[in-house]
Amino acid sequence: MVALAKSIAFIIFPILVFLCSQFLEISYYLNDYVDSVLNKIQQEKVYNFIIVGAGTAGSIIAAKLIDAGEKVLLVEAGGPPPPFVNIPVLSPMLQQTPYDWHLRTIPQVHACKGLIDNISIWPRGKILGGSSRLNMMAYVEGHPEDYHDWFPDYNDFRIEELFIPDELRWCSVLSKTILEGISELSSTDKYKNRLNDFMKVPVAMENGARWSTDKLLTPERLSKGLDVITHAQVEKINFDSNNKAHSILLKKHDRKYVMRATDGIVVSAGAIGTPKLLMLSGIGPKIHLKGLSIDVINDLPVGKNLIDHVLTGIDLVILNTSLSVSVTQMLKPSSALNYFLFGEGPWTFPGLEVVGTLYADSMKNLTKYPDIQLMVMPVGISHDNGATLRKYLGISDTIFSQYFAALTQKTAVTLAPVLLHPKSTGEVKLKSRNPDDHPLIDPNYLSQEEDVNTLIDGLKFVEELVNTRSMKTLGAEMNRQPFPGCEIYRFGSHKYWECYIRHLTLTSYHPAGTCSIGKVVDKNFRYVINFYPF
């Protein structure tokens, strides 16, 4: 009966996913049309500050400046969120819709061999709230040593809480069992003082609904001097003869406008959008810009030092116990009622249950920050027969059919090691002078052997965790099916795990580093007078 219900769910679920994607498509373009008719730009208006990008950082900065009495213009390339996207379980659905920038890396040489064309898909939010609208809502603070590296006077900073993270309102028995297994390992000599802050993940959720930073763009702030322009792409920042940023050139519905600011331009377009705009404006590597016939204002390593938190290990563990988080459970009418009436139940599930960090055995350094984060998800690529996550990650048909398809009638879960401090660095470059062209993104994944060794340590830790008494109560076993392309190696050997990692190389959606403190901006985030790129 369970197998039959699952088979029926596998038929219904892709249909619902398709209908949802069509609804999102219609919602976006309908809002775009209404916006073009009703919202006219007042080009003669001058602001204290202009903020480019209403994402995670931009919305917060706008709110703080308005509260300080400034007049602020916030410009966003996307539109407002559509109905129903505050339902946490719908988190992935905005990917590969008009609310996503549809970014992709160039083919990777050392990694991503199990992905279509060796290309990693990088979803980024094109929407008020930015990528905080697309993620799994995990609220995880960085290690203090990370902040000390960036800001030596970090201890003097005052951190303000914009909201209080919520606890998970729905999770499977896996979360409790994982934490019990972590407790077992923590008591051993090998892992003493090496495991940190393992917990059920705090989430950016309020009353069972997603909390994204666009919630700060309240009617009160809009009435106090905050203007928000949506569906508008900023194409260039304009500077005067003293390198003072004074205006932006934006395009909205095929018309171009110049908007002016007296006190500053803040660019918070993310790790990809920000360097793209800087380079289009003449700030970046001199040779690269001159090759595209762009006048150079300042020769800086904009776009260099690109890093990302690589993860692996999707569907790597198999249980002989069914979990409460499943497609079948999500499709039950009672789940919908429980959510809309009480803000509870499986529809509040964000996808991630447990997080924690550990020091890799190969690093032998317990005085600095941890090297690996473990992300525990009671789902994976196979849980919906490849209807969503497979598509969003870009898993090739061959890999799915030969590896993941066999897991669809089983309970496969994800214990994913995440590389926290990659040694491999890449870059973002312009494809052309055309602002409509996506930049060329090369994270250069796993070009440094040390990154591979660290992830191997993470996978070996997963093996040990799976073998704890606690995990055996769920019948946990490693998925020993050889990964396609790695069949010649013995499962669990160093060579096997290296091959596995280089094939199943996935982003955790955390690109950074392209406008580095010290190289591109100072510790106050200033580049030139009145210019703050984020």
Specify the pLDDT at position 159. 58
**Among 9-13, 103-107, 118-122, which stretch is predicted with the lowest mean pLDDT?**
9-13
Amino acid at the residue 196: N
Rounded average pLDDT over 292-316: 95
Cα–Cα distance for residue pair 522/518, rounded to 1 Å = 5
Q: 530 pLDDT band (50/70/90 cuts)?
A: very low
Specify the pLDDT at position 389. 87
**Among 271-280, 285-294, 322-331, which stretch is predicted with the lowest mean pLDDT?**
322-331
Specify the pLDDT at position 519. 61
Q: In this structure, what is the dihedral angle of CA atoms 126, 127, 128, 133, given to the nearest 10 degrees?
A: -100
Judge whether 451 and 419 are in contact, CB under 8 Å.
yes
pLDDT at 401 over 90: yes
| 3-class state of residue 419 by DSSP | strand
Rounded average pLDDT over 130-147: 87
CATH of region 1-512, choose from 3.30.920.30, 3.60.40.10, 2.70.180.20, 3.50.50.60: 3.50.50.60
pLDDT > 90: what percent of the chain? 72
Specify the pLDDT at position 2. 54
pLDDT at 300 over 70: yes
Please give the mean pLDDT across all residues of the chain. Answer: 90
Amino acid at the residue 135: N
Rounded average pLDDT over 198-215: 93
pLDDT at 528 over 70: no
- Known binding-site positions for FAD: 234
**Among 70-74, 88-92, 156-160, 183-187, which stretch is predicted with the lowest mean pLDDT?**
156-160
Cα–Cα distance for residue pair 110/117, rounded to 1 Å = 13
Cα–Cα distance for residue pair 358/28, rounded to 1 Å = 42
Q: 5 pLDDT band (50/70/90 cuts)?
A: low
Specify the pLDDT at position 149. 75
| 3-class state of residue 49 by DSSP | strand
Compute the C-alpha angle 511/514/516, nearest 5°.
115
Specify the pLDDT at position 532. 52
**Which residue, 295, 363, 259, 317, is CA-closest to 471?**
317
Compute the C-alpha angle 246/248/249, nearest 5°.
140
**Among 178-192, 259-273, 322-336, which stretch is predicted with the lowest mean pLDDT?**
322-336
- Known binding-site positions: 234
Judge whether 179 and 199 are in contact, CB under 8 Å.
yes
Rounded average pLDDT over 466-494: 97
Rounded average pLDDT over 393-397: 94
